[in-house]
A = this chain, B = another copy of it.
């Protein structure tokens, strides 16, 4: 998929130097990711294609695993902050975050805590030096209140101005391709939360609607 990047707290420098190899791996995973779509079950838009978090999540995890990235358990003294990061390798933590928007800060806060603690958590081989957060663009039709790139960018931008966070963060946005049609995986699930999908590769026409809150345009996605 096509991506956009925003860097905070020196992460451009970090991923351009020390973290170069880690980023190359994640960039490769993202580059090879096919957009995942599913049918909405929301009143008023039943059946319309929306971004599929389950399919995306599963594929990111599998592909990152192949590159040596593993779930990173939250250490005991940070237990209140949850169970694990979605992936970690070397000195870099990563989250794919497509759930509701407040998870952004849950992810950042606990990453900041581990960053400041300098603890080495398996599978990391050194204290965490940076965090990668993968989101989808707000251009994607999606379930209500799921986090999106432009929103995350605006929030992190404001808070880093406050100067309370130090951990370098590379925010990634999965973008709707500018070229129509788009080839995407169409995932059909047995139930609303089921993880097992029947997947077919299909073509979708993209049309661009008016601009939204953060200047990004909404994309309407129609099956061919």
Q: Give me the interface of A with B, judged by CB distance under 8 Å.
A: 77-81, 100-106, 108-109, 112-113, 116, 151, 154-155, 157-159, 162, 164-165, 213-214
* Min distance, Cβ A158 to any Cβ of chain B, angstroms: 6
Number of copies: 2
Shortest distance between the CB of A194 and any CB in chain B (Å): 13
Residue of B nearest to A156 (CB): B80
Q: Are B102 and A154 in contact, CB atoms less than 8 angstroms apart?
A: no
Please pick, from B80, B100, B116, B159, the residue contacting A102 in the complex, using a CB distance under 8 A: B100
| Chain B residues whose C-beta falls within 8 Å of the C-beta of A79 in the assembled complex | 154, 213
| Contacts known (A78-B158, A155-B81, A158-B80); A106 close to B109, Cβ less than 8 A | no
**Chain B residues near A81 (CB-CB < 8 A):** 155, 158
In the assembled complex, the CB of A108 is this many whole angstroms from the nearest CB of chain B, namely 8
Interface centre among A78, A105, A108, A154 (most CB of B within 10 A): A105
User: Which chain B residue shows the least CB distance to A116?
Assistant: B162
- Please determine whether B102 and A164 come into contact, CB atoms closer than 8 angstroms: no
Residues of chain B within 8 A of A151, CB atoms compared: 80
CB distance from A116 to the nearest CB of B (A): 6
B105 & A159 in contact (Cβ 8 Å cutoff) = no
Known: A100-B100, A106-B101. A80 touches B155 (CB 8 A): yes
